[in-house]
Amino acid sequence: MKPNTRPSKSNSGINRSIRIWTWWLVLGLSLPAVYYTARYVYRDLSAIAQENESLRVAQRWSESVIAGHEKVITDYETCLLRRMEDELPLELSCPLERLSTRDRLIEGLLAPVENKSKPWQVKRFENLHTLIQTPEQKIRWAPRVVEMIDDGLVGEPHSCWATFQLLASFGSAAKSAIPKLERKIDYEYPQGVIDVGSTILAIDPNFDMMPHLVKTIETHPDNGPKITMFLKRVIPREHAIRMLRQAIDKATDPAQRNQLNDVLLSIL
């Protein structure tokens, strides 16, 4: 007789139960994994979609801003170019159409203009200060600015602040403007001496302002406190003390020496 090789009913039932429970276990473990994977994928896709939408919004906004900016620049440039046709110097190194927008604007602002009001001149030098920013631009444009700077030095010193700011921003590149600035010094107006002096020292920190300061004190002895504040604010203390002592040694008038001594004592 052949042996009975078929599994018994009890064994087959156990095996079936094991398979069922195994499948349930696998399914139970798989579902959370599938869920969290789908959740992370959805979140990443949502973040990418949101980022893309933000980029699209930013791009549209940038394009509108750039378009508006270009329109303003174009309008401003058109206005300047219309005026430049008659006023630009003839010795331009290249045709206007080969210049960048910024260079066109600078050329327009540097063009000689007669009978312009003081507010217009202030705005002119404000715009030059805005347009000429990099060290390379300052070296390039400073000589041209110094040539026409007399237009910006008309009137009281307090009305020339835009010109002073522009020259001070050039630093040593505007050194040739110092004689013109010295001619602007009015010893009757101490604040003007301070404004001009601050500009000169921004251009050349080693410039000797003491003769001008002494002359200001000579003109009006009560200018001493203002000159003292200028020395404290603008000139390094050791340098101011050294200049004052030299001025005191050179002074021949006792009253002037006393005034300078008072200024020196207020700094020490």
Pairwise CA distance, residues 195 & 161, whole Å: 8
- Average pLDDT over the chain, rounded to an integer: 71
Spatial distance between the Cα atoms of 126 and 166, rounded to a whole number of angstroms: 8
Confidence at residue 148, expressed as pLDDT on a 0 to 100 scale: 80
pLDDT surpasses 80 at 8: no
Asked if 180 contacts 217 with a C-beta cutoff of 8 angstroms, the reply is: no
Using the structure block, give the residue that is written with the tokens 């933000």: 54
Q: Record the pTM.
A: 0.55
Q: How far, in Å, CA of 266 to CA of 268, rounded?
A: 6
Query: 3-state class of 119 per DSSP?
Result: helix
Where in the chain are the domains? 22-83
Which pLDDT value is given to residue 85?
A: 46
**Percent of the chain, pLDDT > 70?**
63
Tokens found for residue 6: 């078929």
Nearest C-alpha neighbor of 199 from the set 213, 225, 178, 221: 178
d(CA 240, CA 172): 21
Read off the tokens for 86.
């008659």
Among 127, 129, 148, smallest CA distance to 138 is for 129
Radius of gyration of the chain (CA): 39
For the chain, what percent of residues have pLDDT higher than 90?
0
Q: pLDDT band for 54, please (50, 70, 90 cuts).
A: low
Q: What is the pLDDT of residues 86-130, one digit of tens each?
A: 444 434 444 444 556 677 777 777 777 666 666 767 777 877 887
* SS3 label, residue 93: coil
Q: For residue range 155-184, what is the model confidence (pLDDT) as tens digits?
A: 666 667 888 888 888 988 888 888 888 888
Write the pLDDT tens digit of every residue in 189-236.
777 788 888 888 889 888 888 788 777 777 776 767 777 777 766 677
The DSSP code for 91 is T
Which pLDDT score is estimated for 241?
79
